[in-house]
A and B are shown apart, each in its own frame.
Chain A
Amino acid sequence: DTGVSQDPRHKITKRGQNVTFRCDPISEHNRLYWYRQTLGQGPEFLTYFQNEAQLEKSRLLSDRFSAERPKGSFSTLEIQRTEQGDSAMYLCASNELDSTIVHEQFFGPGTRLTVL
C-alpha cells in the first residue's frame, strides 16, 4: 500500500498563471477529497468525488477552480488566473465508501502553492 501521493510537492507561480495539481489516491479507494490549508488554520473542504462523479463543491471553490477525476482513479485540481490569496497547501485525501471504516480519510503530503 503506497498511500496517497500528490504531485508536485511545491509550486511557485506568478499571479495570473494557471496551475494544475495531481493526486493519486490509494488504489482501492473510490472517494477522493480536496482540501486547502493555510498557515495556522485547519484544512478547508473544497470538493469530493465518488468514482468519477464530482458530488459536492464547497462555496469556497470559486469559478477559477476546477477539479476532475476522469477515470475514477487519479484527480487533478486546476486553478486559473492565480491570485496571491490562493497561496496555501492543497491536500488530497481518499477513502473507500464501502469500507466499515468510511469515516477515516487518508491524506497525501500536499502540494504547497506560492503565488508571487
Chain B
Amino acid sequence: GQSLEQPSEVTAVEGAIVQINCTYQTSGFYGLSWYQQHDGGAPTFLSYNALDGLEETGRFSSFLSRSDSYGYLLLQELQMKDSASYFCALLGGGGADGLTFGKGTHLIIQP
C-alpha cells in the first residue's frame, strides 16, 4: 500500500515563508501532487513533481526527492487567504491511477 505523513498543523506569520513537509512510502508512483482546501471547499490543484527537483508556480514551489521519499511545498509572501489545509498526494502506483492523499496540514496565518 501507500502512505504519506505530513504535520497536522503549521503556524506562520503574514508575509513570511513556510515549508510543509511530506514523507511517503510506496512501491512506485508517477509523481507527487499538492492540493489546497479551504474549509467547506473543494481541493484545488497547486503543484506537481514528476521528477526530482523544484517546481515553481508563482508564490508556490514544490520539491521532490525520490531517493529520500520526501517532498515539500514552499509558500512565499504568505497572505491571510493562504489559511487552509494543504495535502500532499501520490499519483498512481501499485497499478492505481487515483490520488492517495496524506491527512493534510492545517496552515494558520497570523497577522
Contact = CB atoms under 8 A, between A and B. Distances in A.
A33 interface: yes
Interface residues of A, number: 24
A105 B45 contact: yes
Interface stretch (B63-71, B75-83, B90-98): B90-98
Interface string A3-22: 01000000000000000000
Interface in B86-110: 87, 89, 91, 95-104
Given A42-B89, A103-B33, A48 B98 contact: yes
Contact of A48 (B30, B45, B97, B103): B97
B73 to A, nearest CB: 14
Contacts of A45: 96, 98-100
Count chain A CB atoms within 10 A of each CB in B43, B100, B101, B104 and give the residue with the most: B43
A90 B46 CA distance: 21
A23 to B, nearest CB: 12
B48 interface: yes
A25 interface: no
Interface string A30-68: 010101000011111101100000011010000000000
Interface residues of B, number: 23
A107 B43 contact: yes
B44 interface: yes
Contacts of B102: 42
A72 interface: no
A105 to B, nearest CB: 6
Contacts of B48: 103-104
Given A41-B103, A42-B103, A43-B43, A103 B98 contact: no
Contacts of A107: 42-44
